[in-house]
Amino acid sequence: MEKRERLQAAIRGEAVDRPPVALWRHFPVADQDPTLLAEAVIEFQRRFDFDFVKITPASSYCVRDWGVEDRWEGDTEGTRRYTRHPVQEPQDWAALPILDPARGVLREHLEAVARIRQALPEVPIVVTVFSPLAQAKNLAGSDRLLLHLRRYPEALERGLRTIAESTRRFIRAALELGVDGIFYAVQHASYLLLSAEEYRAFGRRYDLAVLEEAVSAWLNILHLHGEAVMFDLCADYPVAVWNWHDRETPPALEEGQAIVRGAVLGGLSRIQTLVFGTPQDVEAEAREAIVRTGGRRFILGTGCVVPIHAPEVNLRAARRAVEHAA
């Protein structure tokens, strides 16, 4: 089976020649230049031959045109530390303009997307899209966001509407370049951060507005980040694949699979196994995940980005594991 055919069959719960597999990582320093980022992503895919490509830019790509600043300080996940948050006061949310994806850093990232699409015409590609609430966190900082959410909700909602519209416009432009879907990253659907009522008001309603723009794509993936995730609250989202830290927080992979209508993506521990384990550990964990899901409606991967110091032999083992499962 070709990659697209294999993934579509897996999403539908049909028989596949082998389970699909995909891993992704950050490319620090390279992610500051669209050409270098594209080259890094293309080379990574050509080296490992995964079933889809998830383009992973610096998380600031979508907010830098609003004045965010960040820098690379050696984090093992490849992420950058935010050094300037342009939203300081509640009234600052109203000053945010709707961004034009044909300008600034958004345009540069779309240039990288176009290069990757051209170089990998047969490989399904998804672009990373952060939820409006996740973007708001990076605009204001985590503590200030929660303060504004609870004390100045109307001001925050004005900002969220602007962020959501900007995000919809970016998705529209990315789909025009021929990507197959979005990797929609939700960071606040966690009981450790918000109540269910708070997430319905400030998260879910904007998630659905953004996801509506991507509904024509076939490979939309929902990523629920963190622990104690509100899985039930997001189980009906209009996506094809659900991804969460299944080796670190409930629900278990097979429990999530029983709740959603599409495929689940996970099964591998990105730290304990991919970083500290051996190739034999990777293959054993992959086999266990395949057995637990029955190998249907399942894509082998991790709950989040692969750390940049994960040994290459372990990434190769993940790719090899699905061949042995065939």
Query: Residue 324: what pLDDT?
Result: 82
Residue type, 155: A
Domain boundaries, the chain: 3-325
In which band, very low, low, confident or very high, does the pLDDT at 95 lie, cut at 50, 70 and 90?
A: very high
In terms of phi and psi (left: phi > 0; alpha: psi -120 to 50; beta: otherwise), the region of 252 is beta
Q: pLDDT tens across 284-295, in order?
A: 999 999 999 999
pLDDT score at 127: 99
Task: Give the bridge partners for 72, in sequence order.
Answer: 80
Predicted confidence at residue 325, as pLDDT, reads: 77
Is residue 157 scored above 80 in pLDDT?
yes
Q: Could you count the other beta carbons within 10 Å of the beta carbon of residue 248? A: 14
Residue pair 50/103 in contact by the 8 Å Cβ criterion: no
> Is residue 112 over pLDDT 70?
yes
C-alpha dist (Å) from residue 191 to 47, 146, 184, 245, 256: 39, 13, 19, 15, 17
Q: pLDDT band for 186, please (50, 70, 90 cuts).
A: very high
What distance in Å separates the CA atoms of residue 308 and residue 141, rounded to the nearest whole number? 25
Q: Report pLDDT digits (tens) over 237-283.
A: 999 999 999 999 999 999 999 999 999 999 999 999 999 999 999 99
Tens of pLDDT along 137-155? Answer: 999 999 999 999 999 999 9
Whether the predicted pLDDT of 181 surpasses 80: yes
Q: How far apart are CA 20 and CA 298, in angstroms?
A: 7
What's the pLDDT at 326? Answer: 65
Pairing of strands 263-268, 298-302: parallel
Residue 251 backbone class (left: φ over 0; alpha: ψ -120 to 50; beta: rest)? beta
Burial 34-67, CB ≥16 within 10 A → b, else e: beebbbbbbebbeeeebbbbbbbbbbbbbbbbbe
pLDDT of residue 154: 98
What is the CATH code of the structural domain delimited by 3-325?
3.20.20.210
Whether cis (ω within 30° of 0) applies to the bond prior to 251 is yes
Position 180 scores a pLDDT of 98
- Report d(CA 162, CA 114) in Å as an integer: 25
- pLDDT of 190 reads 98
What's the token pair of residue 193? 């951060």
Q: How far is CA 222 from CA 17, 40, 183, 217, 315, in A?
A: 25, 24, 6, 13, 22
pTM: 0.98
Per-residue pLDDT, averaged over 60-88, amounts to 98
pLDDT at 89: 98
Question: For 87-95, what is the mean pLDDT?
Answer: 98
